[in-house]
Structure 1
């Protein structure tokens, strides 16, 4: 941790452990040549891939299939001025294999907004980074000005 900024870099294992604790993150992708961010519920697969479940008719599906995307999740404690953030960058693919789709229907994430035709999107984690803020503003016993 750099004593000047109060952040501690997280290793990949810590990042994956933290991701497994939260149900909602944000997918960052390109929509009409502009950056787009969408909150989604997710689950980590057994190999560490990020899994999303969405409507097959969602514009997200065609925008991310085969594209490199970022996925971010975090947890913040505003009272303690602490928290963490993890970013996973990797290729997204829509699951088309019937056996894999059936497995994910049983064990994958449950959509918070179910649709008639649902698909699973898999983000393979190529780059995983994270950082943690511990005791933010009051870390050194001095309250910094806002």
Structure 2
């Protein structure tokens, strides 16, 4: 995370002492704080665990850019996540040949003996939230994804 410059202030996956629970506590705290200030909250919860499993990566990135306007740091982060991944399977000490992964993404490598599957599930989820004054409800848009990818 640090060497790839992927660590963000509120990143919970792959960080010791952080988890889905810490993410939920942060969302709950911020939402309650906004409610105390009479500010509505817009909340988008994304589960990305299977979203990339069947679509061609280049096609997906192209559509995200040209059709949905996702570009800059957010698109680059998705590009890094999808493109150039290699995969090999180890069974009973014997490795399969390394092959390029055209669809789907491999799970992250284990580190420090942590539960690999738990880490992958936490990394595949995203939270986007925004608080605003009640008189702004109808005119407010969710900001560019670039704000969440850097």
Q: Which TM bucket (shorter chain)?
A: under 0.3
Rg (Cα) greater in structure: 2
- What's the TM-score, normalizing by structure 2? 0.23
Richer in helix (by share): 2
Higher relative contact order (CA 8 A, sep 6+): 2
